[in-house]
Amino acid sequence: MCSIRKISALFSAVALSVTVMGSNTGDRTVWLDEIDSQGYYVQDWGSPQINRSIAGTPLSIAGQRFERGIGGHAISRMLFDLGGKAHKVTGMVGPDDANLFTTRLEFKIVGDGKELWGSGVMQRGDKAKPFDVDLTGIDKVLLLIDMCDDEFMYDHADWADVRFITDGSDVRAIPVWPQPVKKEPYILTPAAPATPRINNPKVYGATPGAEFLWSVMASGQQPMTYGAKGLPKGLSIDKRTGVITGSVAKKGDYKVTLTAANSLGTDKREVTIKIGDRISLTPIMGWSSWNCWRFDASDEILRRTTDIMHEKLHPYGWTYVSVDDGWEASERTPDGVLPGNANWPDMKSLTDYMHSKGMKFGIYSSPGPTTCGNYLASYGHEMTDARTWADWGVDYLKYDYCSHTQVEKDSSEGSIRAPYDLMREAIDSTGRDIVYCVGYGAPRVWIWGPDAGGNHWRTTCDITDHWNVVQAIGNCQDVCAPATAPGRFNDPDMMVVGEVGGGWGAPKHPTLLTPDEQYAHVSLWAILSAPLLLGCDVEALDDFTLSLLTNSEVIAVDQDELCAPAVKKTVKNGQIWYKPLADGSIALGCFNMDPYFVLWDQDDSEAMQMRDYEFEVDLAGLGFAGPVVIRDLWRNADEVSGVTGTYRTKVPYHGVKFVKITPLAAK
């Protein structure tokens, strides 16, 4: 069974009895599809549809068609003000037949914070379930589509033939979430020193004989000179740029000391170059074109992006610059090669330009006949495409699941996985190290993604810059967290900071996330060991966004070589996430987030956003028997030393306190 989740604070899990009400003179029927939502419905992917499924098809549950209703998608919330004037609500519920996969969900009706009715677990193919729920005396009622603990929103679900019976009064939709109170951005990240500071992760992987490309990545005043002592045979460094190139024939772990020097000083860092079977030993950091440019991305835009990334972000580890969907020509050449369209006149020249700066190039495709954007994809041309990309110098492939359902025999795990195994084989045949993202659309991919050769895999639907979407995606990552390991990462999608929006069909705009939410967003992705992929317009980076992306201590948590799975604990006022780090310390985040929050008290909206929320952390429960040092990662400063027993802190609304906890003896 799915777990009974909390709604706002804790609502009772005891279902109230359901009474069938008789018809009274003066009663009024209010159909769900006729209620003006005024944009109040809150859904964590897509928008609820009136009288059709979220896929735009007729409402259909186990073959039964319905003319009226709302097509939704978990998690979905609809809150209504009844004022005690409604007698009952009736209707039918079930997963819509438009679902591509067999996923599990629940429907719930909650009145004034108490669960009145639940459908139990349902999945595609189940017959529609009726409900007839007594609403006598209920002030506000919530219609909730919930997802099960091991699901990630891959489900279409319908409220069919739903009607409220009232005493003649109207039924009014009201906000489920509060309208955000505007807060000015505030910068916590200290300015980087002018002296050199090397920010490379402490481990890097490549395969024997493959083209090698890595850089000394150091912040500080330019110009710098770079060095790398102990490089394995076959590698050399450009002391002017810090770019390390060549290839290594012999497997092994090579200890290398990187150096960076300018007129103000020198820094060094010991790293391990691992030549073996795995690459991408820490999560990739980079940028992708979709969220900002959609189909308008071009060679020119990526070159400009590369220049800015190289200047402002590469010193902190940001390396990949990728084109998403829409680069493909309208037809293949006679020998089967798929070239770029007019926006991409010379892919090889583009990658050479990126590589000269130590940056890496990513590309996009799908295992079906067409991509998500209906461009030509790789089905039937896997080997040709892999060879083409290798010839161009591609370093990263995002491989979305789109359209493969048109050619696979069924939706079993084996059929879904097969094209990913095939592309992995094709990539391996080229002899080039290409980071492989098993892309969006494949359910429970973390179970089979590692065996299919994925370096990371999309665990969720597409992200948008709405807090309910960001935290719903992040909140569920504990389900797949155990799959995390060096070279194997869960991908909760791109980060939505900065100026975003073009890829969602809306004009570009500053992210809708508040400053507190952005700190929480970046912190959670870091503690999850998630790929850090930007989707913003880097030409519009402001000081605040830049400070989010250049905090070396926060980035170090994401890039920690242990790659330990993060652990989530639900506590009063939110969640605590933590993971062990390679140096014996623990990274911990206290997050004020509740994906099932409901604004029952509409008058409390502004006040609750202005207060701080208390968190308590049991240090012994984390394995600390003696005193510890608590370091504030965003401020790059020790907060307190000698703490034992319990760590107490306060967190702003939808914000985070992100710390590193180290035994005092180790300091």
**Residues that are catalytic:** 400, 462
Pair of tokens at residue 450: 């590692």
Phi, psi of 17 (to 5 degrees): -70, 145
User: Hey, what are 468's tokens?
Assistant: 């309910």
Query: Would you list the DSSP string of 429-466?
Result: HHT---EEEE-TT-TTHHHHTTTTT-SEEE-SS---S-
Question: How many residues in total does the chain contain?
Answer: 667
Cα(376)–Cα(369) distance, rounded to whole angstroms? 6
Rounded-to-integer distance, Cα 304 and Cα 491, Å? 26
Say how many Å lie between the first and final Cα of the chain, rounded.
Answer: 46
Q: Measured over all CA atoms, what is the biggest interatomic distance in the chain, rounded to whole angstroms?
A: 91
C-alpha–C-alpha distance, residues 348 and 365, integer Å = 17
With 0-12 / 13-18 / 19 or more C-beta atoms within 10 angstroms meaning exposed / middle / buried, residue 320 is buried
Q: Which two tokens stand for residue 349?
A: 């020249």
HSE (CB half, 13 Å, CA atoms) of 646? 5
> Which residue has tokens 């489920």?
176
Q: How far apart are alpha carbons 202 and 212 in whole angstroms?
A: 17
Sign of the Cα pseudo-torsion (14, 42, 489, 540, in order):
negative
Residue 9 backbone dihedrals phi, psi, to 5 degrees: -80, -130
Q: How far apart are CA 614 and CA 604, in angstroms?
A: 18
Decide: 279 and 435 in contact? Cβ < 8 Å.
Answer: yes
